[in-house]
Amino acid sequence: MDPLSLGAIVAFSTILVLFSGISVAAGLLVVSAGFLIVFDGASSLNLMPEVFFGKLDNFALLSIPMFIIMGAAIASTRAGADLYEALERWLTRVPGGLVISNLGACALFSAMSGSSPATCAAIGKMGIPEMRKRGYPDSVAAGSIAAGGTLGILIPPSVTMIVYGIATETSIGRLFLAGVLPGLLLVALFMAWSIYSTARSSDGSALIPTSYSWAQRFEILPRVLPFLAIILGVLYAMYGGIATPSETAAVGALLCLVIAMVIYSMWSPVAIWAVLRDSTRESVMILFIIGAAGVFSYMLSSLFITQSIAEWIGGMDVNRWVLMGMINLFLLIAGFFLPPVAVILMAAPILLPIITTAGFDPIWFAVVLTINMEIGLISPPVGLNLYVINGIAPDIKLKTILVGSLPYVGCMVVAIILLCLFPGIATWLPDMIMGAEL
């Protein structure tokens, strides 16, 4: 059988197996084992644990649990509320100050957390009730936080960027920098939509800023200092010659745990264990997918499917932007169903040669891919952030959350289009700080 038809059969089987309700990692192992038995013989199965171990045998993976712990530790304190409150007290003259503060807090929190749900939960816990109390429509209150939370994987540090860097052997330090400006662009788009939507749907009274005295403004400042300390500490360690990005993650985790314990008095073993348990749970889930996806991509490569698909698409005579559009559509659909890490690990080995041949920058592509994954996080059926919001504010109907998130998906599509028109949004910062690309 030629590798392309074989590829189609593998793709179909994978979809079928993954939709059965089996866990994603086990499903990938099942599909791999099945095709290896049939096409490489049963004796090739003994390679599976070897390849699995080989995938996990990578120091850079350390940063995944570390960046998750950073977010989880801070999210377990009232720090998120402090953050948006401080922002709001200082943004007195800005209409819609509260939703802007919440989105700003999401962006800042994203600079400390490598994953999206933690960002969502940390800011949303206090932010959503507060916005509703002040008369913001439920759709904006829920949608803005769901969307703001997705910044966790775009603004550095980011677990998906680490996984992309490992899968494609691109510099993680460079990928992190590439996410900064697109992250800020998204925040600006989210803010613009939130204000517009609020002004349109209510009488606009929600947008009237509350005024605060200077005493109130200064009083809250010390409470955001820990954030600045963490962000500056991590940045200094990463770009200041102290440690590599993977090592820096451990410094960040330590800082966040210590600050949560010392400043926010998270002393009880129950509270500390809750942070560790949640982080372990999310990390192991991701790492298991990484190992299993390693076995899956070994199978694809061994059956010569990866190479054939890349050759086939490379040989198609289509406009590179049509190609990019098709890739985006594929990523979008995959992102609807699968967690970002699984999509990246399965797609990157196949897509990377295609996009570099078509003349696209892999660093720029990482940003486009990440925004696609962000859309998946706030769209059905597997929109992780939607369920986080549902957990925070159970009385907002899931339908309202869904409808409220939709315009933010639009913002992300606009951001992708802007990135295609102006690739420099992603590549300028890494090029400036780290020199032109290798």
Partner 1 sequence: MSGSSPAHTPAPHGGNPVLLAIGFISKLSGIAAALLIVISIGVTCQMIFIRFVLNGSTVWQTEGVTYMMVAATMLGLPYVQYLRGHVNVDLLPLLLPEFMRKGLALVVLLVTIAVVALMFWHGYHFWHEAWDWGETSNTPWNPKLWVPYLALPLGFGLYLLQLVADLIAVVFRVEEPFGLEPGATLADSVTEAAE
Partner 2 sequence: AELRVSHQWSEGDVRHKVAQMVADEVAAADVDLTLQIFPSQSLFKAREQYKPLARGQVDAIILPLSYAGGLRNAYNLTLMPGLVKNHDHAARLNESPFMDEIEAIMAEDDIMVLVHGYLAGGFAGKDACIVAPEDVQGKQMRAAGKSFEQMLAGAGASIASMSSAEIYNAMQTGVLDAANTSSSSFVSYRIYEQVACFTPAGDYALWFMYQPMLMNKSVFDGLTEEQQTALMDAAAKAEAFYLEQAKAEDGEARQVFADNGVEIAEMTEEQFNAWREIAQETAYKAFLEGSPDGQRLLDLALSVE
d(CA 311, CA 299): 18
Among positions 136, 164, 227, 298, the unique one binding partner 2 when judged by CB under 8 A: 298
Q: Are 302 and 84 in contact (CB under 8 A)?
A: no
d(CA 376, CA 348): 17
Query: By C-beta, is 161 or 289 nearer to partner 1?
Result: 289
Residue ranges binding partner 1 (CB under 8 A): 18-27, 29-30, 33, 45-46, 48-50, 52-53, 56-59, 61-62, 65-66, 69, 117, 121, 237, 242-243, 247, 250-251, 253-254, 257, 273, 276-277, 279-285, 287-289, 291, 337-339, 380-384, 386-388, 391, 394, 397-399
d(CA 65, CA 128): 28
Crossing angle of helices 63-75 and 245-262, in 10° steps, is: 20
Closest separation between CB of residue 57 and partner 2, Å?
A: 8
Query: By C-beta, is 241 or 269 nearer to partner 2?
Result: 241
Q: Near partner 2 by CB under 8 A, which window of 97-105, 142-150, 192-200, 299-307?
A: 299-307
Query: By C-beta, is 38 or 208 nearer to partner 2?
Result: 38
Among positions 301, 316, 333, 432, the unique one binding partner 2 when judged by CB under 8 A: 301
Q: Near partner 2 by CB under 8 A, which window of 147-155, 239-247, 254-262, 316-324?
A: 239-247
Among positions 7, 173, 362, 407, the unique one binding partner 2 when judged by CB under 8 A: 173
Q: Are 414 and 425 in contact (CB under 8 A)?
A: no
Return the structure tokens found at 183. Answer: 């992250």
d(CA 403, CA 383): 13
Amino acid occupying residue 282: E
Selection from 122, 388, 207, 216 nearest residue 396 by Cα: 388
Closest separation between CB of residue 114 and Na ion, Å?
A: 5
Among positions 21, 241, 381, 394, the unique one binding partner 2 when judged by CB under 8 A: 241
d(CA 354, CA 330): 14
Out of partner 2, Na ion, partner 1, none, what residue 21 binds, judged by CB under 5 to 8 A for its kind, is partner 1
Out of partner 2, partner 1, Na ion, none, what residue 152 binds, judged by CB under 5 to 8 A for its kind, is Na ion
Per CB under 8 A, 43 contacts partner 2: yes
Out of partner 1, partner 2, Na ion, none, what residue 257 binds, judged by CB under 5 to 8 A for its kind, is partner 1
Query: By C-beta, is 240 or 380 nearer to partner 2?
Result: 240
d(CA 155, CA 118): 14
Query: By C-beta, is 180 or 253 nearer to partner 1?
Result: 253
Query: In a 10 Å sphere around its CB, with 0-12 CB exposed, 13-18 middle and 19+ buried, how is residue 32 labelled?
Result: buried
Any residues with CB less than 8 A from the CB of 25 and at least 6 apart, and which? Answer: 285, 288, 289, 291, 292, 293
Selection from 130, 79, 134 nearest residue 105 by Cα: 79
Per CB under 8 A, 315 contacts partner 2: no
Residue 111 phi/psi, 5-degree rounding, is -75, -5
Per CB under 8 A, 357 contacts partner 2: no
Q: Under DSSP, is residue 367 helix (H, G, I), strand (E, B) or coil?
A: helix
Out of partner 1, partner 2, Na ion, none, what residue 379 binds, judged by CB under 5 to 8 A for its kind, is Na ion
Number of Cβ within 10 Å of residue 437's Cβ equals 13
Selection from 182, 58, 49 nearest residue 110 by Cα: 182
Query: By C-beta, is 304 or 428 nearer to partner 2?
Result: 304
Return the structure tokens found at 371. Answer: 């925004």
Under the rule (CB under 8 A), what is the footprint of partner 2? Answer: 43-44, 47, 50-51, 54, 57, 169, 171, 173, 238-244, 298, 301-302, 304, 306-307, 349, 434-435, 438
